[in-house]
Structure 1
């Protein structure tokens, strides 16, 4: 999807989007023009009206895109319980709309505990943080993590908790992400 960067787009229908970095909902109007600044994890960040906005993958059609199929949704364990690799793969499709690195490689996921419930499913409890406590996109990022992990086969319930201890810092970013961000 990297080839979509800076692609000019015209909004095909009215659609709700999220204003970055504040997290407010706005309505994009049919016919408005913008350009893609980030296309990762199935969602799109677009510069439009002088602002960055995030469009959910389910609304990709408004800019002429087809929603991505996520292979992690099909990964199964033979006992029907959640596949831990699939949970981590799902979280790796979640991005801060301003940073082209997933939340796992940014070091935002502090823990992911999986417990089996009596009904044969799995309860997943995730503790994560943000790059800054005042981030207006925090609820949206946590919600995306919850929604994508809930889509993993065998998941019965997901809880995502934003935590601030320990405070996030750049040392938590993986080496590959640092390389991608030009920090090495």
Structure 2
């Protein structure tokens, strides 16, 4: 996505790669370079910045979350039968539904990796998994019996100042998963990252194939 827009109101943003939080003034002309990871990455006279989806209106654009659309009622699903007094089958059915509603779905390793694929380095239009930045993801039990996620990831270069912001973005997204009580994202440097760790899809996106 490459689109030039003019800010319709003052808008909070985060400068890349410094991570400095600023307010961009109304009337600023920006180039929206991509909308990956649920955020808008823009260029202006200040350089590169990232704008959260909740401020899409300032750009005059629809929220990225709206692209999912409204979820309607699935087809071929029958309406529940009316319950009549003394209908034990209806009562037991309601108990089963109530019990199921109380159960919390358990996040799986696939859920963790799929969530990590929604995290992007603002300067690179490829998610951190396809870039080969995530080395390990594991679900561990805490002494209290809760689920804790531990992640080892690296950066494309030790001097990347966006590292803490990327790690925190991943942490917050993992902790939003059902049954995950906390997540720890560790930035490691062994083994050192190199372009051979990228997937073929990532290499094609970046014009390396």
TM-score class, shorter: 0.7 to 0.9
User: RCO (CA 8 Å, sep 6+): is it higher in 1 or 2?
Assistant: 1
SS of residue paired to 1:160: strand
Alpha-carbon distance in 2 for matches of 1:62, 1:27: 12
Q: Does 1:65 align with 2:90?
A: no
Alpha-carbon distance in 1 for matches of 2:185, 2:24: 29
Residue equivalent to 1:12: 8
Matched residue pairs, number? 174
Alpha-carbon distance in 2 for matches of 1:23, 1:125: 24
SS of residue paired to 1:41: helix
Structure 2: gaps spanning 5 or more residues = 69-102
Once the 2 structures are TM-superposed, how far is the Cα of residue 103 of structure 1 from its aligned partner?
Answer: 0.1
Once the 2 structures are TM-superposed, how far is the Cα of residue 16 of structure 1 from its aligned partner?
Answer: 2.3
Q: Is the 8 A contact 1:19 1:26 kept in 2?
A: yes
Q: Is the 8 A contact 2:104 2:178 kept in 1?
A: no
List per-residue Cα deviations over 1:96-134 (Å, max 9, x = no partner).
Answer: 111111000000001001113466642101111110111
Residue equivalent to 1:183: 208
Q: Computing the radius of gyration over CA atoms, which structure comes out larger, 1 or 2? A: 2
Distance 1:108 1:25, change over 3 A: same
Alpha-carbon distance in 2 for matches of 1:110, 1:56: 27
Going by fraction, where is helix more abundant, 1 or 2?
Answer: 2
Alpha-carbon distance in 2 for matches of 1:87, 1:60: 27
TM-score (norm 2): 0.76
Aligned match of 1:132 in 157, 165, 168?
A: 157
TM-score (norm 1): 0.85
Distance 1:150 1:12, change over 3 A: farther
Structure 1: gaps spanning 5 or more residues = 72-77
Residue equivalent to 2:188: 163
Residue equivalent to 1:74: none
SS of residue paired to 1:159: strand
SS of residue paired to 1:149: helix
Residue equivalent to 2:19: 23
Residue equivalent to 2:43: 47
Alpha-carbon distance in 2 for matches of 1:69, 1:155: 26
Aligned-residue Cα RMSD (Å) equals 2.1
